[in-house]
Each structure stands twice: as C-alpha cells, then as structure tokens.
Chains A and B, each alone.
Chain A
C-alpha cells in the first residue's frame, strides 16, 4: 500500500496555552527538542496555536517550508482537531496528514507537581507523533447518497406518529403493520388517565391522518421478510398479505411495540376465571363486562417483574393499576346497590375520616419535637396513606363505598406530576395500598370455594386474609416473540431485558448503533403513550437528518479487507457493532464503507490479519509504540 512519496517534511507547533501548558511544561525546550527529530524541518512554540496568529503561522509554514505533515502539540483533539485540520486543508494539505499531540491533559494537567516529568513526557509524545506522521497517507471522505424515504415498522401510536411527522416533512414513508388494523396496543385499552377519554379517540384520530396522508404508503397485514443494504440504501422485501413486495428506503424506524407478560400459573393466572391481568380488565371495561356485584377487588403489582421472572420494573403498571382501582370504585359507586352519592361525599368524608385517623394515630404522651413534625408532615404529604389507608382496612367499610379495593404493592411508582396526583386522588377515594416485600409476596388460593389472598401485613406485623371477587395482576410489558428475528434481520441488538437496545442509554435513546435505523415506543422498553409519542418524534427527527441532507459523509477512517488473506470465517461480522460487514458471492468479507465507524474491532479479531484500519495501520501504530519505548532524547 505504501505510496511513492517524497521524504516527509514535518512541522511541529507547540502551544503554551498561557499558563495552562506553559506553566508546567518547558514549551520552548520541547520545541527545540522537536527540531532534532527525524524529518522535522520546522518547529516553533506559540502562545496560543489556536489564536489567529498561531493559525497563520501554521499556514505560512506549510507554504514557505513545503510542509507535508503538521503536528500540533496542545490541548484536546476533541475540541481543536477540526480547527487545525481545516487550517491544513486551507493551506492545501490533506487534513489526514495532520497529527494531534495532547500535552495538556496528558502532561501539564496531570503532572502539575512534576514539571520536569511533564516536559519529558511532552517530548516523548511528540516523538511518537513524529514517528507515526511519517507513515501517514492522505485520506478521502466520500459522500454516500441517502434516499429521501423511510420504512416505519409497526402501526401503533409510536409508528403512526413517526410516520406522520416524516411524511409532513416531505419524505416518502412506508408504514407496515402486521395486524389487519392500525392502533397497536391501544386497541386493548379502555379509558386513558391522561384524557379521561377512551383510547379509541386517541388512535382513531391518528389513523385518519395516516390514511389521508398521500406521502404515507400504508401496508396492513404486512411484515418485513428480508433486508439488505445500509444507511441511505436499504432494500426491503415486505410480506404483504402473503405476497412479496420490494421497496427501497433510506432509513428505518422500529416501532414494533410490546406485549403484556402473561405468566401462566403465577398467582393462579389462567387457573381461575377471576384471576386476570390489567389488560384483561381493560378489555372488560371496554366491553362493559365488569361484574356488577363486585364487593372486593385485589390488585397485585410487580407480578412477574422486578426479580420475579423479569428483572426490570415495567414503569407503567403502577399508574395503570391506580387508574383501574379508581375505575372499580367509580363503577361500583354508580352500580345498583351502592350509595350513588359516594363521589360527591368524598371530600367531606375525607375530612371526617382524616380526623378519625388523627385520633387513631395519636401516639404516646412524650414525643420529640421532630416526631411531631414528622407526623404532621406525613399527614400532609401522604394524605394519611401508610397509617390511614392501611388502617382503613381494619375499619368497617367506608360509608358509601360499595366495593373494597386493595392494591398489594412493593411501592407505588407514580413518577412525575400527573401520575403522582392521580395516586393521591386514589388514596382520597379510599383505595387501600398494602405493601409487601418480594421475599414474602401475597399467596392466592381457593379456600372453602372462595378466592383467598393470604398476606403478611408489613405495618401491622401480622398475617391477614381477604376474599376478593376478582384478582387483577399488574404484569410487565415484555418483548414480542418475533423481535429476535427482526433484530437479526436489521442487525440491531436486543438488551438483557430483551427490549431493543439503543446506541447509548443516556445520550442516544432513539438511535441504534447502526446508522440509519432508529427506535421508538415500547419496542425500546415500557413507556406510556406520551413518552412513546415523544420518542416517536425523536426517532423521526433523527431519521430525517440524513434524508434532509440527501447524503451521509462516510468516515475516512474505515477498515478494509485484503481479499487474498480473508478466509471467510465471519469472525469480523460477529463482532462488528455497526452491521458494517457483508460477504460477497465468494464468501469473502467486504466492508460497507457507509456503515463502518472505523472502530477497529474487526481488525483485532481477524485471525488472518486480513483487515487493516486506514489511518491506524499496524505499521503506523508499531512505529508510534517503538518510539515510545526508546529513551527520551537528552
């Protein structure tokens, strides 16, 4: 690969950065030392290499001394490499012939108290930079065309939202849904707590917009059959009602949603008609099939979650539980034998019962100031939950309350504003919350022909029993069974929780590591509608970037495969985090330049040494390492 090049002519610029470097490193001495290194024809020190006069000095030296390599020894490439590379380009030098040596973080900052060593290390690092610079080659960045069209997989609330946004930005959008109807999980729900309206109202409006949008190609009863390509140029085969259809797109959004986990046998699920899940209950409400004569209903949260089967917390089930607990109360109060006034009465009643609680709570005579404060505080803060609501269970049924609703829980996760306020309201309405620890969950059995929940009351430190008419399990959302296959087809990973795994858990929540593929909604993990919608817009934003530009700038630093050496073992494909390796007809590896990030993982795993990283060749790295191992000059 070595090109026919004239002897390299290197210029070195050492920066004082005021006291930042100059205060700890003997900068003029380092510059003098640089002059003694092989191929260095120019070295100087600047007060600020990044200031106008420093940049001019680089440009002038390139022209006047015919420099073919430039090294700046200063701060961090993170902030300053783009600047110096641009200056090189402006002076007619390929920017990949520039080398950055960081003597601030690596020398002056970390060796503030050892100034001689800081100076010696600066010299060492520059010597290494020179050794590598000699072997550098110019590189070109190529632009890769991106089709202005997207494939959105999944026609639930997230997929529809993302598709509409992309279409309204002007991009051709293919929306595929495996079911015969759009709407996804929302079709299973009754009333939404955010709006107090039916979920149908939310998704039907969206469906109308999707169907009316002429930029959206809608395919129902459709799945993704196969996929080839890379960012900008994905070729997909869809299975539309059993028939193949080929489409080409630039980007892909995964919005495949989630299922409700239904662990057979857990707390008797599937063994008794009156043991159901939250979604079963939603369906009951929706179809108006909630038994009219309910006297007692028990909810059990974290059923199969947080260490019981699944490790994760499913985020939304506490709020859905609270919503439905209130629903049970509301339905009972409206039902036949209930005192219909219960809702109107609830405010006054609360005042009365709070007083009762206060009395009941009044502790021993001598209590510390802090305790009094804490108690006062607690009442205000919790609406008397711990003592009040749980104690409520010991009292006769509330005046007017037609039904007794108990939520067995491991703590209630109603984060944020609305959800917490809803939780507070449910306590005002006398929903009872009884806490259990995971080591000792409630037990469900049939005793004397009656559904029985036996539990240990953590606050009262006593065993208790109750006989609910209905037990509703709050089970977590879980990944759909076909996700594994999709993950392989798209070459994007699933996490340990089996949900799709984003590129970075903090800062890239809707990106995959693979360019051109994005993620939103519950395919990513449990989320409520608002969160799924925000993510959907987010994914649409990310997908629109390369499509708006019409191209992506591929990395110049990528790997390439020596076909003579490749044995087709596929090790590289397995380790590549970006899905950037494909195989030709002969079974030999090829790098998809558009997808490669130049991380070098493939090169390090290749048993045949058939893969080389441009700009970080073995030869260049070895030269740098050998320079480091030599004694530093005087």
Chain B
C-alpha cells in the first residue's frame, strides 16, 4: 500500500523547506537530523548576502514552524540506519541516539548547564568557544532541549557526578535511557544533508593552525556573530587584539585539482565580500583586501553587492593567488601574492581563508545505504542532470541543497521545494511520469 508519508534526511534550510512544503499540503513528514538541533549551516552564519539579513533571524521562524507543525515529526540527534523497499513503500529504520534528556519534559532553562563541571570546545562555534557536556548547541536551538554528550560527560567517563540531575527541577534527565530504534514506512525520501567546511590544515601554504591569526571563514562567521564565542568582537588568536587590516584569501582548496577539489564552491566570492562588509560595519577603520582568482558574482544582486563593497566599504580586490607567512615579531600574517608576475608581500593583522565546502562526513555511507550515486567528489548525483536535477537513480529518492552540488541558500530552498514537488508527484494517484 502506498503511503503519503515522506522521510526527509537533514534538518538544514533545504530539509526544513522540503518538510514544510509537504506538511503544509497535508502530507506526513519525518524529519531526521543528526545534530541535537535543526537549523544546519545557515544557523551558524552571521548575515546572508546580498541583503545582509541576519541569518538566524530569518531561519528561526522556519525552524519553529517546522517543529510545531502538526504534520512534521522532527527527530533530532537521530540517524537513518537502514532502508529497504521501493518507491511508494520504503521501510526506514531511524536510530535515535540517547540524548539522556527527556525532550517532552525539558524546557531548555539552563539550570543543569549552569551546574555542569565539564567544558569542551563548542562545535557550533567552530571550537572557538566552549560548551558544557550537557548543552544547548546554540541559543535558538530547536528543539530547545538539552543534550548530554556521552563522550565528555564525567558520569559516563568516570561513573559519577549527576550534578545536572540534581539541578533539574522537573526531572528531565534520563541517565539510564539508551538509544532507540524506530521503524518508519514512507512513500518517498528526500536527502538534504548539506556540506562540511573543508579543513585547510593540509594545505600548508595558507598557514592554518601554524600562523595563529589565520582563521577560516566559518570561524569568522561565528566570531562576528553577536551570539558567538566572542560576543561579536573580532579578535586575534595571538593577543586578543582587534585587527584593522584583514586579508581574505579565496578558493582555498577550491578550483584546486591537487587538493582533489577542482570545482568552484559557488559561494565564497560572495561570503568573503559579505564578511569584509560586516567587518567594516563593525569598525569604520577596518581595511579589507580580497585575493581572488575570478570574482564570481552571478546571483541576483551579487555584482551590485561587490560594487558596493568597493565603493562604500573600501574593499580592495586583488587578482592573485596568495599564500601566508608569519611575522614572528608580532604574529601578523604576511600575505604573499603577485601582480603582473612580480611578487608582493602585504602584512595584515588577520587572514580569513575562504575554504572550499565538501559533502558532509558520512555522505558516502548514506549514499550506499540509500543505493544512490555519488560523483567523484562525494556529491549526490542526479539521474538526469538537465531535466530532473532532484531525482536520483533510485525512484522515490530525491536530493536537494548543497549535498547535491555547490549552491547558495535560495537555490537550496528552490531545489528543496522542487524535491517536495517530485515526491508529491510520485505519491499522487498518477505517479511520476
């Protein structure tokens, strides 16, 4: 029997949009998210180009709509572990990891968190800040419930503590509860697992983790965010000082066959421009230099945004590859680049690397589980890349967002709605033609 249920894997903006579209028209959706909260990468960004909308401010209402929707069952801290069946009738097993906090009871008040003695680097803040072992990944997390991280909780590592349990006035802590398995029957599956930020450490010429004041763009997004680890203050790793001169290096790991990513990540021209604009908005005396291969300003309003970056925010664009050295006297990064074949050096206070973006860790394993194809870089492949970009080779399984190919937010949203349309088409009486 065909079911009008859909499983959506990945709770970022693409997964959220696909879920909302289907649920709004009366279909039942199971949204599975690996992390403790939905929101994905968009929740980590400070602002969005080219309108400088606050990212979480425009995302949070969608997260709330999703979680509160009668037709959407949001399962966070969960992963799909098994798939069987065919289009119209898939059986999925979802493993709900033990978060050790009762989601129905916890209100996210933070009493437990205040008492927890363990501090570990916060992944959400790209490890620039700390969190507790019982934690809310970020302020606007949905669901707003705590999660105990077994790897770091001293009750699990050393066998005693339970301070959070004592602090919780409503008995939401569940130390004894283990993971659960859930069996679902769905008609279709939408995969929207998004991207990871590539770690530039192996590309030594950029100095990441060697030159202290070199950061990745995602680190910068967290740093410049008012709710981030530095409260929105741009600070050097070496001395906590605020930089006045920032160098942005583009295509770090992108368009680089030697590093196995010959593709263009499609977003870093714009996010670096945005970050330079935001830096200037924070401080009038901030100077930014963007070292680029080609400025790709191909979206709506992008070229205009870059031009404003030059004329109103004093951004200087330099057409060159660049590498980074360090001035040992003051830990200033030195950007080495060339102009018309002549080598130049520029000492700056901070360098931001626009690292390439890659499919999420585990994307290939998931593809195997789902029996869909990935390309040589690990992105999910379309069955017909021209006319059915969201279809995979396996009928009834659709893809949307960055897990499919490099794209920005509106493209991911449009594609997510598109994947929802294909799922709806399949599950309507007539079926996919």
The chain A residues found within 8 Å of chain B, CB to CB, are: 16-20, 47-48, 50-51, 78-79, 82-83, 157, 161, 164-165, 168-170, 192, 194-195, 202, 205-206, 209, 213, 306-307, 311-313, 315, 363, 367-368, 370-371, 373-374, 377-378, 380-382, 387, 411-421, 424, 435, 458-461, 495, 497, 499, 504-510, 520, 524-526, 529-531, 533-542, 544-545, 548-549
**A531 near B411 (CB under 8 angstroms)?**
yes
**In chain A, what residue has the closest Cβ to B22?**
A541
Smallest Cβ distance from A242 to chain B, in angstroms? 33
**A313 near B109 (CB under 8 angstroms)?**
no
In the complex, identify which listed stretch (B82-90, B176-184, B214-222, B387-395) lies at the interface while the others stay far away.
B387-395
Q: A311-B303, A378-B321 are in contact. List 11 more A-B contacts (CB 8 A).
A: A307-B303, A374-B322, A381-B321, A414-B264, A416-B407, A417-B406, A507-B62, A509-B414, A538-B413, A538-B417, A548-B25
Mark each residue of chain B from 319 to 343: 1 if its CB lies under 8 Å from any CB of chain A, else 0: 1011101000000000010101101
B238 within 8 A of A: no
B side interface size, CB within 8 A: 96
A213, B264: Cα distance in complex, Å: 39
B205 to chain A: which residues have CB within 8 Å? Answer: 370, 373-374, 377
**B417 near A168 (CB under 8 angstroms)?**
no
Smallest Cβ distance from A117 to chain B, in angstroms? 20
A1, B53: Cα distance in complex, Å: 39
List the 6 closest pairs (A to B, CB-CB), nearest first. Answer: A18-B109, A537-B418, A411-B294, A538-B417, A541-B421, A548-B25
Smallest Cβ distance from B245 to chain A, in angstroms? 19
**B256 near A381 (CB under 8 angstroms)?**
yes
**In chain B, what residue has the closest Cβ to A109?**
B139
A529 to chain B: which residues have CB within 8 Å? Answer: 386-387
**A530 near B264 (CB under 8 angstroms)?**
no
A50 to chain B: which residues have CB within 8 Å? Answer: 107
**A415 near B296 (CB under 8 angstroms)?**
yes
Q: A370-B323, A458-B340 are in contact. Are A497 and B107 (CB under 8 A)?
A: no
**A18 near B169 (CB under 8 angstroms)?**
yes
**In chain A, what residue has the closest Cβ to B257?**
A380
**A509 near B431 (CB under 8 angstroms)?**
no
A537, B416: Cα distance in complex, Å: 9
**In chain B, what residue has the closest Cβ to A548?**
B25
B428 within 8 A of A: yes
Pick from B263, B294, B321: contact of A377, CB under 8 Å = B321
Q: A417-B263, A417-B379 are in contact. Are A315 and B299 (CB under 8 A)?
A: yes
Smallest Cβ distance from B411 to chain A, in angstroms? 7
Residues in B1-49 with C-beta less than 8 Å from chain A: 13, 17, 21, 24-26, 48
**B303 near A461 (CB under 8 angstroms)?**
no
Max chain A C-beta neighbours (<10 A), residue from B24, B62, B109, B321: B109
Smallest Cβ distance from A409 to chain B, in angstroms? 8
Supply 18 A–B pairs (Cβ within 8 Å), ascending by A. A19-B111, A312-B301, A313-B297, A315-B298, A377-B256, A380-B257, A381-B321, A411-B292, A418-B385, A506-B413, A520-B414, A530-B386, A533-B389, A537-B418, A538-B413, A538-B415, A538-B416, A545-B24
Smallest Cβ distance from B249 to chain A, in angstroms? 11
Max chain B C-beta neighbours (<10 A), residue from A380, A381, A412: A381
Mark each residue of chain B from 128 to 162: 1 if its CB lies under 8 Å from any CB of chain A, else 0: 00000000000000101000000000000000000
B432 within 8 A of A: yes
B429 to chain A: which residues have CB within 8 Å? Answer: 170
B341 to chain A: which residues have CB within 8 Å? Answer: 363, 387, 459
B257 to chain A: which residues have CB within 8 Å? Answer: 380-381, 424
A100, B298: Cα distance in complex, Å: 43
Q: A195-B386, A202-B386, A374-B205 are in contact. Are A507 and B58 (CB under 8 A)?
A: yes
B428 to chain A: which residues have CB within 8 Å? Answer: 168-170
Pick from B24, B26, B64, B295: contact of A79, CB under 8 Å = B64
**B107 near A313 (CB under 8 angstroms)?**
no
Q: A194-B385, A381-B256 are in contact. Are A47 and B432 (CB under 8 A)?
A: no
B105 within 8 A of A: yes
**In chain A, what residue has the closest Cβ to B317?**
A411
B96 within 8 A of A: no
A18, B429: Cα distance in complex, Å: 50
**B417 near A542 (CB under 8 angstroms)?**
yes
Q: A420-B255, A534-B411 are in contact. Are A168 and B58 (CB under 8 A)?
A: no
Q: A411-B295, A416-B407 are in contact. Are A78 and B256 (CB under 8 A)?
A: no
B420 within 8 A of A: yes
A207, B245: Cα distance in complex, Å: 57
**B109 near A371 (CB under 8 angstroms)?**
no
B371 within 8 A of A: no
**A169 near B424 (CB under 8 angstroms)?**
yes
B409 within 8 A of A: yes
B174 within 8 A of A: no
Q: A380-B258, A411-B294, A417-B263 are in contact. Are A541 and B21 (CB under 8 A)?
A: yes
**B421 near A47 (CB under 8 angstroms)?**
no
**B386 near A194 (CB under 8 angstroms)?**
yes
**B114 near A413 (CB under 8 angstroms)?**
no
A544 to chain B: which residues have CB within 8 Å? Answer: 25, 421, 424
A205, B388: Cα distance in complex, Å: 13
B321 to chain A: which residues have CB within 8 Å? Answer: 374, 377-378, 381
Q: A195-B386, A417-B405, A542-B417 are in contact. Are A168 and B431 (CB under 8 A)?
A: yes
Q: A506-B51, A509-B413, A534-B414 are in contact. Are A417 and B24 (CB under 8 A)?
A: no
A535, B411: Cα distance in complex, Å: 8
**A51 near B105 (CB under 8 angstroms)?**
yes
Pick from A205, A421, A459, A539: contact of B340, CB under 8 Å = A459
Pick from B21, B343, B419, B422: contact of A542, CB under 8 Å = B21
**A374 near B336 (CB under 8 angstroms)?**
yes
Smallest Cβ distance from A410 to chain B, in angstroms? 8
B366 within 8 A of A: no
B430 to chain A: which residues have CB within 8 Å? Answer: 168-170
A378 to chain B: which residues have CB within 8 Å? Answer: 321
A363 to chain B: which residues have CB within 8 Å? Answer: 341
**A371 near B343 (CB under 8 angstroms)?**
yes
B188 within 8 A of A: no
**In chain B, what residue has the closest Cβ to A199?**
B386
A413, B407: Cα distance in complex, Å: 14
Max chain A C-beta neighbours (<10 A), residue from B258, B293, B387, B409: B387
B301 to chain A: which residues have CB within 8 Å? Answer: 312, 497, 505
B263 to chain A: which residues have CB within 8 Å? Answer: 416-417, 420-421
A307, B45: Cα distance in complex, Å: 29
**B340 near A534 (CB under 8 angstroms)?**
no
Smallest Cβ distance from A169 to chain B, in angstroms? 5
Smallest Cβ distance from A418 to chain B, in angstroms? 8
Smallest Cβ distance from A522 to chain B, in angstroms? 12
Max chain B C-beta neighbours (<10 A), residue from A165, A377, A420, A508: A420
B59 to chain A: which residues have CB within 8 Å? Answer: 507
A363, B342: Cα distance in complex, Å: 10
B424 to chain A: which residues have CB within 8 Å? Answer: 169, 541, 544, 548
Smallest Cβ distance from B208 to chain A, in angstroms? 14
**A17 near B109 (CB under 8 angstroms)?**
yes
A1, B7: Cα distance in complex, Å: 49
A377, B206: Cα distance in complex, Å: 12
**A20 near B109 (CB under 8 angstroms)?**
yes
A16, B385: Cα distance in complex, Å: 53
**B62 near A82 (CB under 8 angstroms)?**
no
Smallest Cβ distance from A184 to chain B, in angstroms? 14
B117 within 8 A of A: no
B302 to chain A: which residues have CB within 8 Å? Answer: 312-313
A549, B22: Cα distance in complex, Å: 11
B50 to chain A: which residues have CB within 8 Å? Answer: 505
Max chain B C-beta neighbours (<10 A), residue from A78, A164, A417: A417
A306 to chain B: which residues have CB within 8 Å? Answer: 297, 303
Smallest Cβ distance from B311 to chain A, in angstroms? 11
Smallest Cβ distance from B350 to chain A, in angstroms? 18
A600, B181: Cα distance in complex, Å: 49
B110 to chain A: which residues have CB within 8 Å? Answer: 18-20
